Amino acid sequence: MENRSLMLDVSALAGKVSAEYIVPENANGIVSLAHGAGAGMNHSFMVALAKALADLGIASLRFNFPFIEQKKRRPDLPAVAHKTIEAAVNDIRKSYPHLPLYLAGKSFGGRMSSQYLAAHPDPAVKGIIFFGFPLHPVGKPSIDRAEHLKNVKVPMLFLQGTRDELATLELIEQVCSSLKLATLVKLEGANHAFKAGKQDLIPVLAKHAYDRIK
């Protein structure tokens, strides 16, 4: 198992951000793993997910967005987030060109990744995995945030809790049914943080991701 920390150069204005590879021996794929709006790459969820993926033979690159690196509360503008994802993708392609590449992200990180991919189609990217797509703000059901997904040309895996406060079940089902390349997996009773009683859903999330990548 290889664990390697590094700094990604995003841009002259945004600066550099922390990142970490976890690469198991004989990895059969790699994901860029972007964090959500509320916590960075070293949040317990992100670390546990990366380790669970590694246990199944999936490598990952976790990284901070600049707002986390700079200890700001307000998430970056999409243009900055997209540049960060681009920096991560470029480093993965340079460091592990032989591994099938997937984009992935928790909440904000997944949405920014899909926006980036919609605007910058990349034949090296084999698919995208959403660990809770944030379809709308809490209490404001809408599907406006899904509009760009029509321009994503690779398979999309949506891992969604049935009690997700940021993705009403009926609406996320509607969105996924309208996308030919989308697969929706529903985790019964889970909220946006994938809390469902005493269940540990991280191994379940990792297994669904593995099943898509293997």
175-187, pLDDT tens digit by residue? 999 999 999 999 9
Percent of the chain whose predicted confidence (pLDDT) is above 90: 98
Cβ pair 181, 152 in contact under 8 A: yes
pTM over 0.85: yes
Mean pLDDT rounded to a whole number for the chain: 97
Confidence of residue 110 (pLDDT cuts 50, 70, 90): very high
Residue 41 has what pLDDT?
98
Q: Can you tell me the distance from the alpha carbon of 145 to that of 124, in angstroms, rounded to the nearest whole number?
A: 25
Q: Can you tell me the distance from the alpha carbon of 44 to that of 34, in angstroms, rounded to the nearest whole number?
A: 14
The whole-number average pLDDT for the span 101-126 is 97
Q: Can you tell me the distance from the alpha carbon of 76 to that of 95, in angstroms, rounded to the nearest whole number?
A: 26
Q: Can you tell me the distance from the alpha carbon of 144 to that of 178, in angstroms, rounded to the nearest whole number?
A: 13
Confidence of residue 150 (pLDDT cuts 50, 70, 90): very high
Provide the number of structural domains found in the chain: 1
Percent of the chain whose predicted confidence (pLDDT) is above 70: 100
Q: Can you tell me the distance from the alpha carbon of 200 to that of 150, in angstroms, rounded to the nearest whole number?
A: 32
Provide the residue range defining the domain that includes 171: 2-213
> By three-state DSSP, how is residue 184 classified?
strand
Classify the C-alpha dihedral 65-69-75-78 as positive or negative: negative
Write the CATH number for 37: 3.40.50.1820
Residue 195 CB partners (closer than 8 Å, separation 6+): none
**Amino acid found at 119:** A
Residue 168 has what pLDDT?
96
Q: Can you tell me the distance from the alpha carbon of 3 to that of 193, in angstroms, rounded to the nearest whole number?
A: 26
Query: Radius of gyration over alpha carbons of the chain, in Å?
Result: 16
Residue 77 DSSP class: P
- Please say if the pLDDT value at position 214 is more than 90: no
The whole-number average pLDDT for the span 63-75 is 96
Smallest CA-to-CA distance from 143 within 164, 111, 171, 182 is with: 171
Smallest CA-to-CA distance from 7 within 22, 23, 26, 21 is with: 21
